[in-house]
Amino acid sequence: MGVDNMAEEKKLFKVTIDNITVEVEPGTSILNAARMIGGEVAPPAMCYYSKLKGSGGKCRTCLVEVSAGSTADPRPMPKLVASCRTNVMDGMVVKNITSERVQDARKGVVEMLLINHPLDCPICDQAGECHLQDLSYEHGAEATRYEFPRRTFAKHDLGPYIQLHMTRCILCYRCVFTADQLTNKRVHGVLDRGDHAEIATFIEKSLDNDFIGNVIDVCPVGALTDKTFRFKNRVWFLKPEDAHRDCPKCSGKVTLWYRGDEVFRVTGRKDQWGELHDWICNECRFEKKKTSDWVIDGPAKISHHSVISANHYVGTVKPHEALPEVMGGRNPRLLMDIHEVSEVNKPNIDLSKIQGPAHSNDFKKKD
């Protein structure tokens, strides 16, 4: 009985973000508190990943303004803080989209990220689902002030399945944390310092662990791509379908990307923040690309803000035609017959009833 009372009396912290108040457990970061509210209140995050320990604090895109530290100490924090690494306090007041300081700082962070990032979106496989594209569209400047040559790197071979484009990397460290925490042995990491820092496999070792393919899904840009999918199709031409299989290695829950009846690629299922629900193995990702390998669960849920949602309609309902009901069951009377006024329509052909598209033979020929 005493334990139950303690559970019921568990103290929650009240935090106000962009004038919206929410109650969260102690130890919750500002970013996760904002995600509980959702929408534009949640700051963008290029390096933080909830399933990876130690992630966050690298990209600085989630900076927010704390205008009141807590009820006990309502003084504002003098500098903008990384919301992914700052825990809430009871009575804290935070500004994200309501702060001009935050918007200006985020614009500067995006400009910094794009200093060395190549503008090769037309050929990049990440185009259409790139977090940096979305970030630059929402917070980027019209032009860069950087006048120096962009950094370049030698190509590294990461095995038969993964392609590394180091020039696109923003050093978010997600792939390093994934390899370190999800595999038995990490053979890649960050080499050098400053402007020369790069993600690499020393002596070009192959990343051959059974779960290493997940580095593709966690990469927010096009630095790590799927060799089995490269240059084969654009994601907005594909139809994502959720599917599962009885896999002895992983959860077996994936998203299949179709064009027609062909599976072009397999990825893990992602939530609204672009994070994987479950890690998947290399066998599911790279080797099971037939519909017969899977049990289809249904269309994947795609945000309407994404270009992938174009021509991808789920749960739509045909509008109800109310005109006959208003007219007492009678069809509307057409006051004009197209065949009487048109010089090209044949009088014996109703274009709305022909099979397939209209052909030149369905119209009158010019004299």
Domain CATH for 215: 3.30.70.20
269 lies in some domain: yes
Q: Do 22 and 102 share a domain, yes or no?
A: yes
How high is the pLDDT of residue 91?
94
Residue 361 in contact with residue 344, Cβ under 8 Å? no
317 lies in some domain: no
Report the distance separating Cα 300 and Cα 297, nearest Å. Answer: 9
Range of the domain at 330: 322-361
Give me the number of domains the chain comprises: 4
1 lies in some domain: no
How high is the pLDDT of residue 178?
87
141 lies in some domain: no
Other residues' Cβ atoms within 10 Å of the Cβ of residue 109: 19
Report the distance separating Cα 354 and Cα 197, nearest Å. Answer: 65
Chunked into runs of 10 residues, the chain (367 residues) has average pLDDT values of: 56 94 94 94 94 91 94 93 95 95 94 88 92 89 81 78 89 87 74 72 61 92 92 92 94 93 94 93 94 93 84 76 78 75 85 82 78
Domain closes at, from 203, 226, 249? 226
Q: Which residues pair with residue 188 across a beta bridge?
A: 201
Q: Do 101 and 121 share a domain, yes or no?
A: no
Nearest in space to 156 (alpha carbons), one of 199, 106, 214, 112: 199
Strands 224-226 and 198-201: unpaired
Nearest in space to 127 (alpha carbons), one of 273, 234, 284: 234
Cα–chain-centroid distance for residue 251?
21
How high is the pLDDT of residue 203?
39
Residue 62 in contact with residue 44, Cβ under 8 Å? yes
How high is the pLDDT of residue 202?
54
Q: Do 154 and 221 share a domain, yes or no?
A: yes
